[in-house]
Amino acid sequence: MPLPAPEPATAAFWEGCAVRELRIQKCAECGTHRHVPAPVCPHCRSFDHTWEASQGVGHVFSYIVVHHSVHPATADHVPYNVAVVQLDDCGGVFVTSNVIGCPNDGLRVGMRVRLVWEQVDASLSLYRFAPV
């Protein structure tokens, strides 16, 4: 699977992943959360932000099961799921990930999930979700 290439605007997020912390950006002025990271708050236009570590509990807002691979990395991995999880905390932002520990035909919208970390290379862990 393609791995994330950290950039100045996203480095703090990926550094969080390395220490298994799901960091959601939060406006330092008005407190609005946003994901994915962006330079400016769309609510109050402040360029100042902090990072808040999510507790990682939420529900499946939507999901798909990919059967047709469109990238060489997934050719041997179909079918696999992709889920959009809405976090309970951090302003209820949406996070794109995968649900593990559940058969694809057992996935449901609204299903409660919690954060789990998976080591993907020497320096990086990725956030995934498992049924509560």
Question: Residue numbers of the site for another protein (CB under 8 A)?
Answer: 1-7, 10, 14, 34-36, 38, 42, 61-68, 70-71, 74, 77, 79-80, 82, 84, 86, 94-98, 104, 109-110, 120, 126, 128
Structure tokens at 10: 């996203």
Query: Coil, strand or helix: which one is 97?
Result: strand
Least distance from another protein to the Cβ atom of residue 45, Å:
14
Least distance from another protein to the Cβ atom of residue 110, Å:
8
If the CB atoms of residues 62 and 119 are measured against another protein, the closer one turns out to be: 62
Burial of residue 26, with CB atoms counted within 10 A of its CB: 0-12 exposed, 13-18 middle, 19 or more buried = buried
Least distance from another protein to the Cβ atom of residue 4, Å:
4
Report how far residue 128's alpha carbon sits from residue 108's, in angstroms, rounded to the nearest whole number: 16
Structure tokens at 99: 């649900």
